[in-house]
Structure formats: structure tokens, C-alpha cells
Homo-oligomer: A and B are copies of this chain.
Amino acid sequence: MKSEIVEGLESVVGSDWVVTDVDQMRDYLADETPEPVRPKSSSEVVVVKPNTTGQISKILEFANEESLSLIPRGAGTGLCGAAVPTEPGVILSLERLDEILEVDENNFTVTCEAGVTLEQLLDELKEHESLFFPPHPGDEGAQVGGLVVENAGGVRAVKYGVLRDFVRGMRVVLPTGKVLKLGGKVVKNNTGLDLMQLMIGSEGILGIVTEVTLRLYPRPKQGVSLLVPFEDRHSAVGTVPKILQRGVIPLAIEYMERDLVERSCEHIGESWPAEEGEAYLFVIVTGNTEDNVYSQCETIDEVCKDQGADRMLFADRRRDRDKLLDIRSNIYTALEPDSADILDVTVPPSRTGELMDEVDRVAEEFDVYIPAYGHVGDGNLHPHIMKENDEAPPATEEIKEKIYQIAIDLGGVITGEHGIGKTRVKNLPQVLVGKHVDLMRGIKKIFDPNGIINPGTVVDSDES
């Protein structure tokens, strides 16, 4: 990286916080995408670690003047290359903005800097027994800023929604260096076009979120987990709307099949507690009183029996609940090393069964193993396209396109959680009409006239 640039950055943050050594920046050059995008040459990349919004503003002013590419980076837990540079430029790491600024028990909000990790936030909230932050995307190492700009989802969206539903306010540095405060602790806000909503899920192409105010909920006092075995997929999936129609909204409704839970069990050295069944609903129910939780469980039991379920396993002890959740969570980690890509196609929830059937047909057609599991309460499925002999199947791109098209044809979208990032920009025309992409490009240009932040992410920079 040119010395004027390094010096320019050092003049803002001090020389301790600018990394030019290739070995020291290795962790910043990929995310968790199985086949990650990479910079062409890491010698033309520099990592800068500011620790205030003011420093970030100065860095952006500098980058804007010098027309430098600038990639904002959280913890790098993303799955679409949004936080990874593919061309020469500056990686702006938010890790030093790691302070939880305020927990407001009366307004049910927490305000923190963007680099605070989910783990740190959850730890802090242990000190506040009445408060609860429901979202739980897989990785607690993820940073709050990243969760917001990627609009993270996870298993608990059935009851509480996705990250978007939790953002009350934020501080943003625009690509020109200007700082905007959006929202606040208010619950209702109709003061003009909602730029905050536009920032949520924008994957760092419109500005850098440096501070976030998140909504909290009262902490439910009771919770149990249920494992419901079914003999087949469609009975399991078809049960979900019937549970909701009875007025019960569980915290989570996950779907998994026997081969995957057994693989996960093997991976973590556990045993699968259900003798019966091939297809499982894993349901987490919460409430404030034992009576309330048990009454929800009874309703679920009735509905599931009506739908032909085998005997439901009931886990109310912490240890048993954690074990089930661990097995579910580790499906990902068990499959991940052998995955060529991990998808997150999303359809109207009632069509999840059809989506799974169609994914199986694609697997058969290409003779590739594509196990799938997911958030069946949200219609959000995670098919893993598996490697063969440590190699991505040659047809990986074609397989992805087919699975995307299936989701689209079922009334769905190509990504419900992970985002477009850099790896799926080429697939956007499959799901969005040209005018839609043009509008996105136009908005990008309004925020970032010189196209410095995160180029090649979400939309390509060419105006076609």
C-alpha cells in the first residue's frame, strides 16, 4: 500500500492501529463464506482500526478525497463476502468501537458501539434480569453493527422477528465523512423518508454504522423445548401453521431430519434422544408462568398428535434443553468443513416442504449431496451444497441458480438472512427486475457519489 495512504491513516488513528503486514492482516481477508472472495493482492490492502465515530469520519473524508476503496468490517462472520475486499483498498475494522454505552431499563433499549459482539451484549444483559435481547443468529462473535447492516435473522424470528425489528436508532458516518443520527429511543417515528430502515440490511454500501440503539423485551421467566418426531417431512412442515392457528407463537420452530441430527451428534459426541421419527420439529416455547408454558405445550401436543406425530419429547431442564439446541446448532458446524456453499433461500412458510422436495430433486439431478435444515417457522431453509472429495461440485453455480429459481417460483427470495454481499451480485437479476436494480444503484450514488464504500457489494458499480 502506498506510503502516503498509510501515513494519512496513521495521522488519524496513530501508527499502532494501521496494519500493513500481510501476516497480521490474514484474519481480515476472508469471512465465513465456504469459498470466500479474496483480494487480488494483499500487499495493496491496509487495515485501519479507529476507535471513535470522529476518527471514522476523518478516515472517510480522506478516502473520499483520495478515491480509495473502503471496506467496513465487523467480526467477519458473514456468508456472502460483504466484509471482504476484492480490490486494493482500506479495511476499516470496527473492533475497537466495543463499548456498551447505556442499558435503559425504563425504555427497554441498549445503546452500544458497532463493534460490541453479541456475546458481550448478552453478557451485559445478564446483569439486568428483567431485560432480554431475543435475536440469536448462529455466531455470538458477530458484532452488533454487522448484525444490523446484514439484518441478521436466526432461530428466534418466529416470535420476535429479525434484527430490523429491533433497531430503534443509529449513528452513521456517510461516505463523505458527514455523521448522521437516525431514530433514537422512540417507538414511533414518521419524520420523513426512513433512512434508518434503508441502512438496515444495506451491507455497508451506504455508510458506516458506528452506534446502534436496540430494542429490548422483558425476559420470559419460563421456557421448555419440545422435540416432535414425524414419519415424514410433509406431516412435520404441515403442522407448523396449525400450531400458530391455535394461537401459540413459539420462540422458535426448527426443522431437521434424522441423517443430519445424527451427523451433528457424532460431531459433538452426543446421542440423539428420539428413537422414533425421520423428520423432527424442534420447538422452543417461552412464557412468564409455568402454567402458561405448559398450556402452550399441551396445545402443541394436541395439534401434533392430530397430524400423526410420534410421542413428543419434552425438555424442561436446562441441561436437556441445551443439549437439543446444541445438536441443532451443530448441524452447521458438522457440515461446514465439507460445504461448497451454504444457501438461505426463503419461501412463504407453508411452502417449505415443497422447497425441500425440489432441492432433493436438484441433488439427484446433479448427483450431489445437498442436505437442508432450517427455520421452518419462517420458511427459511439452509441447503448446504456439499463438496465431493474435498472439491466443490463443478456444477455448483448452476445448482445454486436452480435452487434460487425454485425459491423464486414458490414466491420466495434468494436470501432471507445472509444477504447479497459480493458472491450473489450476479444472481440479483434472477430475482429483481432491471428497474429495481437501477433504483438501488441510484440510491447508492446519492449516498456515495464517488463509489468508495464497499464497491462491488449488493450492486455492481456499472450503470448499465
Contact = CB atoms under 8 A, between A and B. Distances in A.
A249 B428 CA distance: 40
Interface in A161-199: 161-162, 164-165, 174, 178, 180, 184-195, 197-198
A194 B198 contact: yes
A296 to B, nearest CB: 8
Nearest to A153: B188
A165 B162 contact: no
A187 B379 contact: yes
Contacts of A350: 104, 106-107
A321 interface: no
A184 B218 contact: no
Given A130-B247, A247-B288, A346 B186 contact: yes
A247 B108 CA distance: 12
A174 B219 CA distance: 43
Contact of A107 (B219, B348, B380): B348
Interface in A436-450: 436-437, 439-440, 442-444, 446-447
Counted per complex, copies of this chain come to: 2
Contact of A186 (B178, B192, B249, B347): B347
A161 B160 CA distance: 11
A157 B187 contact: yes
A237 B89 CA distance: 52
Contacts of A150: 190
A431 B346 contact: no
Contacts of A218: 244-249
A165 B189 CA distance: 13
A43 interface: no
A203 to B, nearest CB: 8
Contacts of A151: 190, 194
Interface of A: 104-109, 130, 150-151, 153, 157, 161-162, 164-165, 174, 178, 180, 184-195, 197-198, 200-202, 205-206, 217-221, 241, 244-249, 288-289, 291-292, 295, 346-350, 375, 377-380, 411-420, 428, 431-433, 435-437, 439-440, 442-444, 446-447, 458-459
6 contacts: A106-B349, A130-B247, A187-B349, A191-B415, A194-B198, A220-B247
